[in-house]
Amino acid sequence: MRFRSYWAQRPRRPRSSNYRGITYFFTGGTTVAKVIMTAAAKTLSPVVLELGGKSPTIIHSSADLRVAARRIAHGRWTNAGQTCTAPDYVLVDGEVTEPFLERLKEALLQFYGEDPQSSADYGRIINLRHFDRLTGLLAGGEVYHGGQHDRTDLYLAPTVLVNVATDAPVMQDEIFGPILPVLQVRDLREAIDFVNARPSPLGLYVFAEDRAVAEQVLSSTASGDAVVNDCTLQPIIHALPFGGVGNSGMGKYHGEWGFRTYTNARGVLYHSTGLDPSVRYPPYDQNQLLRRTVAHLPS
């Protein structure tokens, strides 16, 4: 098994588009993914696309809010939010919205202190282009916590937004940065409908101590992967298939799933020549007794 890797700066035909018998693997956005699929179609080559998207987090009123806040804070602000499986927004039951926000703020202060810019555990934005993109998203809601930024240091504080309009830019594309919109919903049905009204995400996270609630969310939605009472961990569990669905990608990999994806399951049959009964061959109006006998043999 051989691999070649390329860094795609902009949409263009892959350098390997004339190769036969290969599998394309691409991680990135849908625009370049469509270019990859077009090139692969010319040689009927299979593709694996891991495209991210806006991974929602649903918090039910039965959730352990302290644990949920700590795990969401870790998942969202690790590497300053620049991971494809990070929670992209939170849908929280109105009964527990304020307590959850308080716990989330407590977790951020515990993790990164009053001044996250001086924390050795908090990262920076990858470049100026993404920094400017992210700071432009701050206007999409009211800053509940954070919001401070320093362009010279590529620093954007862990930021929680509330009162976010659903048509705001921060709710349109994957954020891929340290901003977390928190939206209040009336009930679980509204949360499920909200998720289903948008493209299927790479990951979906639900926090609920009520098992029936978690199962209802899982059975009523579609996503590449899902986690109950945690988030972002699924890629490191190699026994789980990892990958998207729809706009968040196609194909599964990691562990055995990766081996199956990148290899061809070639069926091979070795058959003995010791027996070669004529019942197999025409003319089929002969050997009727033998045919009836064979037909009654157990399969």
Rg of the chain, C-alpha, whole Å: 26
The rounded distance, in Å, linking the Cα atoms of 137 and 115 is: 21
Q: What is the mean pLDDT of residues 266-286?
A: 87
- Per-residue pLDDT reduced to its tens digit, 182-213: 999 999 999 999 999 999 999 999 999 999 99
Interval 35-89: pLDDT, tens: 999 999 999 999 999 998 899 999 999 999 999 999 999 999 999 999 999 999 9
CA distance 106 to 192: 28
Bridge partners (DSSP) of residue 265 are none
**Residue 117 near residue 125, CB atoms below 8 Å:** no
Angle between helices 97-112 and 65-77 (to 10 degrees): 50
Please tell me the predicted confidence (pLDDT) of residue 22.
83
Assign 295 a pLDDT band (cuts: 50, 70, 90).
confident
Q: Give one DSSP letter per residue of 225-292, joined into a string.
A: EEEES--S-GGG-TTS-B---GGGEE--BSHHHHHHHHS---------SS---GGGSS-TTS-HHHHH
Annotated catalytic residues are 50, 84
Q: Across the strands, what pairs with 107?
A: none
The pTM (predicted TM-score) of the whole model is 0.86
Q: Which residues pair with 227 in a beta bridge?
A: 205
224-254 per-position pLDDT tens digit = 999 999 999 999 998 999 999 999 999 999 9
Higher pLDDT, 103 or 5: 103
Instruction: Give me the residue label for tokens 């795609």.
Output: 8
What confidence tens digit (pLDDT) does each residue in 131-156 have? Answer: 999 999 999 999 999 999 999 999 99
Contact call for residues 254 and 235 (beta carbons, < 8 A)? yes
Does residue 7 register a pLDDT over 80?
A: no
pLDDT score of 1 more than 90? no
Q: Please provide the average confidence, as pLDDT, over all residues in the chain.
A: 91
Virtual torsion, Cα 170, 172, 173, 178, nearest 10 deg: 20
Residue 104 has a pLDDT of: 98
* pLDDT digit string, tens, across residues 9-30: 554 555 545 556 688 899 988 8
| 183 neighbors 92 (Cβ within 8 angstroms) | yes
- Burial of residue 39 (CB within 10 Å: 0-12, 13-18, 19+) is buried
Q: Are 77 and 108 in contact (CB under 8 A)?
A: yes
Task: Let me know: does 211 contact 219? Beta carbons within 8 Å.
Answer: no
Adjacent-strand bridge partners of 247: none
- The residues, ordered by sequence, that sit 6+ positions from 95 with a Cβ below 8 Å of its Cβ are 61
